[in-house]
Structure 1
Amino acid sequence: MTNPDTPIPVPALLERMAEIPALSGRYDDARALAQPQLSDLPILTKDDFRSALPDVLRRARRRTHGAIVLGSGGTTSTPKLSFISSGQLVEAIAAEWSPLGHQDVLVNYDTPGRLCSSHNFFNAVAHQAGAVTIPLGAVDEAQLSEWLDFVDLLEPTALNATQSQIANLLEFYERTGRKPPTFTKLLWTGEPFGDRALEITRRVLPDAELHGVYGSTETWVIGHNGPGCDMDTFHLMPYQHIELEDGAILVTNLHPECINPVVRYRIGDVGEFTRCACGREDPALRVLGRDDPQMKFLSVLVTPQEIAEAARVHEAVRDVQIALFDHGSPAERMELRVKAAGGADPAEVEREVRRTVLTRVYRLGYEVETEAPNAFSVRVVERFTVNERSNKTPLLVKDSPSA
């Protein structure tokens, strides 16, 4: 959904897709219509996106504006690549979402390099606002004290990072007794802002404003939120058109500098249109979670979310991560990793969380208790496995090393 008064330029979208031979034939039926509508166009998936990569590269090289290559996942041998104009659409974004001012000093704590998008994006956001940027990147805990000494000298006012990084950094301040800078603004993207991050933020930086953006490297920024907004709810950018197909979010990027084939693109999330708590009357998008998140474990279909929710029943549980080993084989096993509140007895937390999860997620409990009692375990840990490229903390990791 865009502004209802904004026409959807379907002929222009058909011209865009004609530049991508790998997908162009799928639009022949729509081209044959006298007045094709957006709903007449096919829904594109991540597999479609990947198959079009050579064509998108050629399209990018024909454009007069520059482009940046970004990675949205995969490995170096089978990357999921994306192209965004060098300007990163920041001018259009800043017209709707501009949390920084020219007097701000921003610590950019997102990981640079390895085709990661967020570090470059927040540098551009700060530049557009006229702010000072400290492009620090994520720092290993062993070196964190020294780098934070350096950061303190520059009197920072704002921080950008994933919610996992924000939580980890603020926990470091609290654990070591360091006084954090006067961060008045926290900018975030990349993953849902969870209860753990919100709790530590409100405890350590009670007056800090939270400003988030939602999107992907393929679609770019879809929506934004700020103080007073629900953390899972986003106001849409005017250049993005959103449809819901049985709850699945479909994105059509209308910006003239869009390079990727983002036309009714299924981003992989589910959502609903709603009114935001901030009071704005325009419809906002609430992101409800991943599209079809079920997985099969011990021949049972379960979702990582329902396992995590069962674990979080316990007051001592601060956060959860699920690790799968030998998934799909007869020897598959699951380790539920838990961060516990200070002072909690790890053995008791592990025992009680295991019992609760296997009781509440009864299908899983039946299979574990009757067929594979050693296939499910709970372990209290100090840190989770983190994506080294993006510094996101996924709920589910596979064949993960011990944390």
Structure 2
Amino acid sequence: MTKTHTELSVPALLERMAEIPSLSDRYDDARALPEPQLRDLPILTKDDFRGALPDVLRVARSRQHGSIVLGSGGTTSTPKLSFIASGQLIEAIAAEWSPLDHRDVLVNYDTPGRLSSSHNFFNAVAHQAGAVTIPLGAVDEAQLGEWLDFVGLLDATALNATQSQIGNLLEFYERTNRKPPAFKKLLWTGEPFGDRALETVRRVLPNAELHGVYGSTETWVIGHNGPGCAMDTFHLMPYQHVELEDGAILVTNLHPECVNPVVRYRLGDLGEFTRCACGREDAALRVMGRDDPQMKFLSILVTPQEIVEATRLHPAVSDVQIALFDHGSPAERMELRIKTARGVDPAEVERAVHRTVLTQVYRLGYEVETEAPNAFAVRAVDRFTVNDRSNKTPLVVKDSPLA
């Protein structure tokens, strides 16, 4: 199945890919067809994208609209470089998703610099709406109280951040007995909105509206949602063409200012087309998790998702992160970090989760119990390892100890 609103011209896509010599010959078979269809074009992966970087730079330098170099990637990898038109496609986005207006004062809590995309993006969203922007960026907890007191003087009405940041920030207000600003709107992107953050929002700011965008640094914004929408469901931008290939999300960016070779690009997520809870008639995209390959641990293949699903069987677990140490070596070990609900005994939950995961993920349980009993541990924590560039909270991190 596919969904798009903008006219899709396969010959135009073939012309676009002819500008990328490192990929162009992969399209020769399609060019030889009298009427090539989208399904005749190859699926591009992140490795294809990375290998085409010199060609993409040359394309960017040939354009008249200017481009910004950005980076994507989690704490387990170095940033993958990407290009976006300097205007960030903001007019096309604002025509579909414009949660702010000129009366708003937005606290931009996404980290600036280091090739991170979100800070620049939300500044542009606010500018397009005529709103006042406070480009604060993420603040270390030691200085957070002082900065938040300052923000409170500016009558802030909106906040943008990752869901991790939103949850942590509101919990800080609670922990320090501060009254949060009257945030009426919370804008988010970068990672799925988890249950823990959502519960915190509903507890601390019960009347706040949630407005999210879904996409990647490579594809740019694919879809959006707002009040009344399911948190995992997004309405597609007209300039994006989305296909599902055995559940994997493929994206073709049709915007004329698109610089990257986003043609049937395999994003790395799984999805399905659905009707959104908000009642809109158009089909929306539900994002169902990562389309990640299995990882090898203790000589067996497991997927992070099956470990997460087993962990979440315990009702007191609100969030999960997998930390790998010395991965690939004889001494490798896994620490399953969990956040627990208030009022429970963390040690009891740790023991129960340890038992459940090794039972449910039986291959892992067998290897741990028979070969490496000290290679798997469960620990309740107050915080997870966060990418200090993007402030996303990766599901899997490597060699990242917590205090």
Shared fold by TM > 0.5? yes
**Corresponding residue for 1:290?**
290
1:127 Cα offset (Å): 0.3
> Could you list the runs of 5+ residues in structure 1 that have no partner in the other structure?
none
Task: Quote the RMSD (CA, aligned, Å).
Answer: 1.5
**Corresponding residue for 1:197?**
197
1:165 aligns with 2:165: yes
1:46 aligns with 2:57: no
Once residues 297 and 239 of structure 2 are traced to their aligned partners in structure 1, the CA distance between those partners, rounded to angstroms, is 41
Higher relative contact order (CA 8 A, sep 6+): 2
1:180 Cα offset (Å): 0.6
When structure 1 is superposed on structure 2, of 205-214 and 373-382 the one drifting more is 373-382
Is the contact made by 1:275 and 1:282 (CA closer than 8 Å) also made in structure 2?
yes
In structure 2, give the amino acid aligned to 1:276: C
Within-5 A mapping of 1:3-402: 3=4, 6-73=6-73, 79-402=79-402
Once residues 318 and 45 of structure 1 are traced to their aligned partners in structure 2, the CA distance between those partners, rounded to angstroms, is 32
Is the contact made by 1:2 and 1:239 (CA closer than 8 Å) also made in structure 2?
no
Once residues 171 and 318 of structure 1 are traced to their aligned partners in structure 2, the CA distance between those partners, rounded to angstroms, is 14
When structure 1 is superposed on structure 2, of 319-328 and 359-368 the one drifting more is 359-368
In structure 2, give the amino acid aligned to 1:258: C
Once residues 74 and 170 of structure 1 are traced to their aligned partners in structure 2, the CA distance between those partners, rounded to angstroms, is 24
1:386 Cα offset (Å): 0.7
Once residues 79 and 340 of structure 1 are traced to their aligned partners in structure 2, the CA distance between those partners, rounded to angstroms, is 31
Is the contact made by 1:293 and 1:304 (CA closer than 8 Å) also made in structure 2?
no
1:79 Cα offset (Å): 4.2
Once residues 338 and 293 of structure 2 are traced to their aligned partners in structure 1, the CA distance between those partners, rounded to angstroms, is 21
* 3-state SS, counterpart of residue 73 of structure 2: strand
When structure 1 is superposed on structure 2, of 79-88 and 216-225 the one drifting more is 79-88
Once residues 401 and 302 of structure 1 are traced to their aligned partners in structure 2, the CA distance between those partners, rounded to angstroms, is 22
In structure 2, give the amino acid aligned to 1:90: I
Q: Deviations over 1:81-119 (max 9, x none)?
A: 110000000000000000001100000000100000000
Once residues 37 and 153 of structure 1 are traced to their aligned partners in structure 2, the CA distance between those partners, rounded to angstroms, is 57
* 3-state SS, counterpart of residue 70 of structure 1: strand
Is the contact made by 1:2 and 1:238 (CA closer than 8 Å) also made in structure 2?
no
1:343 Cα offset (Å): 3.5
Compute the TM-score of the two structures, normalised by the length of structure 2: 0.96
Once residues 118 and 361 of structure 2 are traced to their aligned partners in structure 1, the CA distance between those partners, rounded to angstroms, is 36
1:220 Cα offset (Å): 0.3
* 3-state SS, counterpart of residue 186 of structure 1: strand
1:8 Cα offset (Å): 1.1
In structure 2, give the amino acid aligned to 1:111: T
Q: Deviations over 1:282-320 (max 9, x none)?
A: 111111111134222122222222222222233332322
Compute the TM-score of the two structures, normalised by the length of structure 1: 0.96
1:3 Cα offset (Å): 4.2
Q: Deviations over 1:112-144 (max 9, x none)?
A: 000000000000000000000000000011100
* 3-state SS, counterpart of residue 142 of structure 2: helix
1:347 Cα offset (Å): 2.3
Distance 1:193 1:132, change over 3 A: same
Q: Deviations over 1:228-256 (max 9, x none)?
A: 11111110000000111111111100000
1:74 Cα offset (Å): 7.4
> Could you list the runs of 5+ residues in structure 2 that have no partner in the other structure?
none
Once residues 338 and 74 of structure 1 are traced to their aligned partners in structure 2, the CA distance between those partners, rounded to angstroms, is 19
Is the contact made by 1:74 and 1:80 (CA closer than 8 Å) also made in structure 2?
no
Identity of aligned residues (%): 85
- How many pairs were matched up? 401
Once residues 319 and 45 of structure 2 are traced to their aligned partners in structure 1, the CA distance between those partners, rounded to angstroms, is 31
In structure 1, give the amino acid aligned to 2:147: W
Distance 1:51 1:74, change over 3 A: farther
In structure 2, give the amino acid aligned to 1:391: N
Is the contact made by 2:186 and 2:210 (CA closer than 8 Å) also made in structure 1?
yes
Is the contact made by 2:4 and 2:236 (CA closer than 8 Å) also made in structure 1?
no
Once residues 49 and 359 of structure 2 are traced to their aligned partners in structure 1, the CA distance between those partners, rounded to angstroms, is 41
Once residues 74 and 350 of structure 1 are traced to their aligned partners in structure 2, the CA distance between those partners, rounded to angstroms, is 26
Once residues 373 and 116 of structure 1 are traced to their aligned partners in structure 2, the CA distance between those partners, rounded to angstroms, is 40
